[in-house]
Amino acid sequence: MRRSQKPARRGVAAIELAFVFLLFVIPMMIGIWEVGRMVQVQQIVSNAAREGARLSAQAYTINSSGSPTQIRVSTGTVNVRDAVYDYMYAAGLTNIQPTDITVTFAFTTPRTTDYVPLSTDPVGTSFPSGSYPTDPCYGEKGMMFNVTVTVPWNRVRWVNLGMINPTNITFTVTWQMLTDDRFQVNADLPTW
């Protein structure tokens, strides 16, 4: 028997496998991980936008003393931005602050009737027919509106390798006002 005089190549396969892992498999796994996180954050942002739109559609809520409370975009005790933030925080985005979230609210259809504030309205703003109010509390039943929620990607990503690097994660919801028709109770009604 004759032996071959070729040089031995015993460790070559291990070195080739290491290069393949370093150059292809590990970056692919990190990319899959980043895409998975982006999909998760997009789902959380979309659900938070729906939660904000659901609250906006009410226009008013009843507080603990039984008085109506106006729902606003970013001010007051009940507002859309806080509802969106609370949903995101409960869903696991705990490293964001309320100031990181941008919530925009805009009516897409105008009022069909004049809005004259009731005596219980804390802000005496009136909106004529054909106008687009700025807060949900000034909408009327059937008006369409959009709620857009935007979160900076650098505040919610897990790894900072820059393979997937959008600026923001944004979602817009189109919803319809479901507020009850306004009425004022007549305190002069007789009692039996």
Q: Where are the domains of the chain?
A: 23-176
Distances (CA, A) of 55 to 127, 149, 179, 183: 21, 14, 10, 21
The C-alpha atoms of residue 17 and residue 14 are separated, in whole angstroms, by 5
C-alpha distances in angstroms, 141 versus 65, 83, 119, 181, 188? 25, 21, 20, 7, 28
Residue 145 contacts residue 136 (beta carbons within 8 Å): yes
Q: What is the pLDDT of residues 81-112, one digit of tens each?
A: 999 999 999 999 999 999 999 999 999 999 88
* pTM for the model: 0.79
Residue 123: pLDDT band with limits 50, 70, 90: low
Q: Amino acid letter at 62?
A: I
